[in-house]
Amino acid sequence: MSERPTYTLKGDTGDWELVMGLEVHAQVASEAKLFSGASTAFGADPNCNVSLVDAAMPGMLPVINKKCVEQAVRTGLGLKAQINKWSRFDRKNYFYPDLPQGYQISQFDHPIVGEGEIEVDVEPAHGDPAYSFPVRIERLHLEQDAGKSIHDMDPTSTYVDLNRSGVALMEIVSKPDVRTPLEAAAYVKKLKSIVVALGTCDGDMEKGNLRADVNVSVCKPGAYEKFRETGDFGHLGTRCEIKNMNSFRFIQAAIEYEARRQIEILENGGEVDQETRLFDPNKGETRSMRSKEDAHDYRYFPDPDLLPLEFDDLFIENIKASLPELPDEKRARFEGEYGLSRYDAGVLTADSERAEFFEAVAKGRDAKLAANWVSQELFGYLNREGLELADSPVSAAQLGELVDLISNDTISGKIAKDVFARMIDGEGNPGDIVEKHGLKQVTDTGAIEAIVDQIIADNPEQAASVKEKPKAMGWFVGQVMKASGGKANPGAVNKILKQKLGL
């Protein structure tokens, strides 16, 4: 991995740098809500998954869901963070039409999970190499979700669906350690890979089960380093929060627009207002939603209806013992066991589904060859078509068979790409395709030698000049492959040509 590059934005008055912290909301994987037994199932008719507690009916008291507590601790362990054996719920007071109580039950100064740190890998882009960087986790706290306001069912009215009201969320808050739009997307991807591997959140961003609030500010070069030295936020610019981002692509686009907007304001002598903004993907711009509140504006106080959470070391150790292999551990194993580069191993362990698919292809085979076909050919195709791995027209067993055909010299790598394209088109298993279309590689050295002799005989001048210009042998390789219909074994072709041409 390369060193972390410096990222600057050009303004009329000079260079600017970005500083970001993110608050990622992950819906807890639980069949019941945080303080009631109502279902969390997605897609139910409006206001069907609502208990009297969720609707804030008078006299209804919340009861903590133990499963949600376990999932939060499990996530904290996955983030290598401090687990607080004593934590407390607080009331966060603000008004939303879809927040029945008029307050949100959350955690403020005593969260269930404290500080941690994760390593984030950034894939190569715009000619820059891959690199990794650390992000410090400030906290993870549990809180209940609000309902949903629906504005497009009536021109004069807003409808409210409380099915999400009371659903358990883990809010994962980072320190301001993210410096580029690409890093922000990579950080959210990394968190998603961790919670999905842990089974604490399904990571479905389309359903809103994982979404990010991005706090963006701009500053002059050197200001961030002063902040890291002193801890004084005064060195950084005023931040604006972009709310409810549920797409990696939109996260990057929103940050780029927002940074440019703030730079333009500052260079024109204005001041950036601390506010919450929404991103409009159709216009590619952010717009103001409301002024950004500070903690004191919410008038936090301990929730009188809930006792503090207290648990012992045994409770934590039992959860720790059940942790699965996490993405970083899996990546390290792929590097050691399969001899893959850190980057390739990172691509293949970005989520558990990818890792399982690769291991099925690589089992008992050339792991590096399998990795190339999985990450470059198959994933490349899926990315171009906008498909998920679950929608792949090629199974792991089929891709493994294709790797076998290459390894045993039945087909060449070039022919394999033709076979792969036919597999994508639904022609079936690679072995059947090779037989049907007569694509077996010619490994008979006698047959290849006859082709080589004929081409040398037909081109004596080129043959005579090869000793002076060895690179010209590539022309002969091309002619032999053309004459064999692309089926001649490239290794045999090169070996025979070198012998015949005296190289």
Mind listing the pLDDT tens digit for each residue in 328-364?
999 999 999 999 998 889 889 988 889 999 999 999 9
304 and 417 assigned to the same domain = no
Q: Are residues 308 and 363 in the same domain?
A: no
Q: What pLDDT is stored for residue 502 in this prediction?
A: 66
pLDDT band at 234 (very low <50, low <70, confident <90, very high): confident
How high is the pLDDT of residue 496? Answer: 74
More confident site: 227 or 493: 227
Could you say which of 408, 437, 466 is where a domain stops? 437
The stretch 464-469 carries a mean pLDDT of 72
What is the model's pLDDT at position 439? 78
Question: Does residue 416 sit in the same domain as residue 477?
Answer: no
156 domain-assigned: yes
Quick one: pLDDT band at residue 295, thresholds 50, 70, 90? low
User: With 80 as the cut, is the pLDDT of residue 461 above it?
Assistant: no
- CATH number of the structural domain spanning residue 451: 1.10.10.410
Is the same domain home to 288 and 361? Answer: no
Measure CA 139 to chain center: 21
**What would the mean pLDDT of 293-307 be, rounded to a whole number?**
85
Count CB-CB contacts under 10 A for residue 270: 10
Q: What is the mean pLDDT of residues 452-469?
A: 74
Considering the domain architecture, whether residues 147 and 185 belong to the same structural domain is answered as yes
Domain identity same for 170 and 210 = yes
Specify whether 294 is located in the same domain as 156: yes
Residues 467 and 381 in one domain: no
- Measured CA to CA in angstroms, residue 411 lies from 18, 252, 298, 403, 488 at distances of 50, 42, 67, 10, 9
202 and 91 both lie in a single domain: yes
Q: Are 232 and 226 in contact (CB under 8 A)?
A: yes
pLDDT, average across residues 290-316? 87
Which tops the pLDDT comparison, 250 or 456?
250
Residues 346-367 as b/e (b if ≥16 CB within 10 A, e otherwise) read: bbbbbbbebbebbbebbeebbb
**pLDDT tier at 235, thresholds 50, 70, 90:** confident
pLDDT digits (tens, 9 = 90+) for 100-143: 999 999 999 999 999 999 999 998 776 678 899 999 999 999 99
- Residue bearing the bigger pLDDT, 145 or 441: 145
Query: Do 143 and 198 sit in the same domain of this protein?
Result: yes
Cβ atoms of residues 412 and 489 within 8 Å: yes
Residue span of the structural domain in which 290 resides: 15-319
Nearest to 79 by CA among 109, 107, 114: 114
pLDDT at residue number 174: 97
Q: Is the pLDDT of residue 444 over 60?
A: no
Verify that 354 and 293 share a domain, yes or no.
no
What distance in Å separates the CA atoms of residue 477 and residue 175, rounded to the nearest whole number?
57
Residue 198: inside a domain, yes or no? Answer: yes
| DSSP for 165-223, written as a single string | TT-EEEEEEE-S-B-SHHHHHHHHHHHHHHHHHHTS----TTTTSEEEEEEEEEE-TTH
Query: What pLDDT score was predicted for residue 375?
Result: 92
Shared-domain flag, residues 258 and 377? no
Q: Map residue 147 onto helix, strand or coil.
A: coil
